[in-house]
A and B are shown apart, each in its own frame.
Chain A
Amino acid sequence: MTASTAPPSAPLLAIRGLSKAFLGVQALDGVDFTLRHGEIHALLGENGAGKSTLIKTLTGVYQRDNGTVALEGREIAPRGVEEAQRLHIGTVYQEVNLLPNLSVAENLFLGRQPMRWGLVDRGAMRRRARAVLQPYGLSVDVTAPLGRFSVATQQIIAIARAVDMSAKVLILDEPTASLDAQEVAVLFKVMRTLRSRGIGIVFVTHFLDQVYEVCDSITVLRNGRLVGERRTADLPRLDLVAMMLGRELEAAAHRIDLGPAEVDSRPPLASFKGFGKARSVEPFDLDIRPGEVVALAGLLGSGRTETVRLVFGMDRADRGEATVDGRAVRLKGPRDAVRLGFGFCPEDRKKEGIVGELSVRENIILALQARQGWLKPIPRRRQEEIADRFIRLLDIRTPDAERPIQLLSGGNQQKALLARWLATEPRLLILDEPTRGIDVGAHAEIIRLIERLCADGMALLVVSSELEEIVAYSRRVVVLRDRRHVAELRGGEVSVERIVAAIASETPNVAGSGAEVRQ
């Protein structure tokens, strides 16, 4: 395929009024999206914005309820990924959807192997595979299994496959999520080459720097609706963040001007210096003092969750050091953290939080029991006392403590998880999106609880996308962007506007002594 000879009259891809609902939930609501020839177009939005629904509708995984999709002026309605591919729409996911145990060549020609006398012509397949990969500067052994190569290489192979199958539209869904800087640079080079050949690329990412580095246009979705489409050059970062978070900001907030921060001189309970993990979160410094709520704010994928997972030992930091009460500690796993008096309610409650089949009682006493060790069982009566106390205290709605926790609503599951940690009387409680996916009543209760725990002298580290919520209970907010801690706001500095401004700031913003920025 060569660059388009004549300027095409119709855009490469025109989506108009696209709607899609699941079980009454409107995932996409009248969304427009335009992709031109030779354009890299960022598709952005926070959780639940509708990015993945848009992509899946485009590639035929879902069928649209309403709206039109036109490719070079011709209306299309693919009913599956293969049909979309035939219609010149190729997709490459973050987790490459090829077969790791087949060879590179087999993956490239899967389902369209060169045949000879009814058999796969392996020689031809290898030759063609090398030819296909050559323009990407990729000289790999095409007979080696795909799984042996890095994710970056696999992605480029997946791109090469899509392009070789004459894709005009290439959808890259979070391709850079697990790549390092060098790999990202290689990928961008490939993307730019494809752009020069007239291919339109839809680029989904959480990294704002990458958007500004490589994209021509930006479309922002929020809650299933189109917020707007802009040329990248015409859209300041702050406006972009505001679009994503759904806030109208005064012009004054564009300039970040933070007043003097109050300095807390009390010794920290837990202190992290240069703590970080490759491909997860850049090294950061973080102090947490008793009786304070430290909030982590940032866009989805900015490294908030990664930070708290390192602090709790769910993931192992590969650099930096941690001290608790001034003593160096090792955080090899959650057990170390629990022993230090940490507690952690993860973002994905179902997968990493609750033990679904077990009762509310067993879920509540699990952490306490684990800390005591299996040889010292908590007597049944004491278990019931603990469970009943927290069921009352947190108003966990369950007929009794013996009900399997999976039958409870999300909010009540979250409260039971809080109870699990409160039963251990933790010194530091880490909450990752504690109010996500729970009903309004429970939401308010959990915020009240956070405030109360803090007043009782517990230290809390909270990740939340709800900026108002953060502002309501935090005296200190660490702002993250692109896997870096970029700013720290304190006391009077904490406001929604300032958080947004810090997220959008182009040059890393140093506010307060606690903020540490690498490079």
Chain B
Amino acid sequence: MSRKWVISAATAAAALFIGLGAVQAADKKLVVGFSQIGSESGWRAAETKTAKAEADKRGIDLKISDAQQKQENQIKAVRSFVAQGVDAIFIAPVVATGWDSVLKEAKEAKIPVVLLDRQIETKDQSLYMTAVTSDTVHEGRVAGEWLAKQTGGKCAVVELQGTVGSSPAINRKKGFDEIVAKNPGMKIVRTQSGDFTRAKGKEVMESFIKAENGGKGICAVYAHNDDMAVGAIQAIKEAGLKPGKDILVVSIDGVPDIFKAMAEGEANATVELTPNMAGPAYDALIAFKKDGKAPPKWIQTESALFTPDTAKAEYERRKDAY
């Protein structure tokens, strides 16, 4: 098969293929193969669970392969999906590079690929149909905007960063910093890495409280994820202060425990990183199969802000998904 033929036939053959796909869709269920990274966090588990639930809702047959944090397993899974001739492949890529050759195989087999929750680095954007991810910079911005509004643009913030060098940590800091820059009264007085964990979040918050005059100098804590915020809440309580009142707590992710904390008045806001990455992907896929309308290259999930008033209900809604 010559390369030229593939390129020249890209639209025409695709149309034919889509037509076929539409016929298939009418006859039988869409089959989607999903190469998931693993189940290293509660959020990841929720993403898998939601993917299943959303698939059932739409009558899609979802095949999940757990890669246990290994790219080689993901590549194997994609190859096996190609061999099975699925209708689409979803990948939550464990790393950003090294996907070109296996994605080419999928492309040659005319199977559309959707990236979930993380992007990849490739020169050839045609290797995947679309990527469904959140905008982590935007998440930081949403958190910052809420805090600026809440405090009238005047606040001494301590920041619990994620793992040094990780892209969510870099981006969530960047978005938040943009808002701080716009508000002269807002200032990040201390920033340290809490490694995205509760234990480190608590330890770092303890030292912030001591360093800032027993916590009197702190107006709010901004944590790059909810787990660190939960740790920080405990540190604040043990220092004899009231989290959510003496020190405001704002974080990102929207895991059930932070809703619980908000319901108890100990946290003030969280920006949700929705585990429902698969839902928009299914919708884009169904639309594509139906009328051949290619989705945009990037489907951005909503970064919704949640506050204590809905916390109890949200907690009840989520605790089983996680």
Direct A–B contact in complex, judged by CB atoms less than 8 Å apart: no
Residues of chain A whose beta carbon lies under 8 Å from any beta carbon of chain B: none
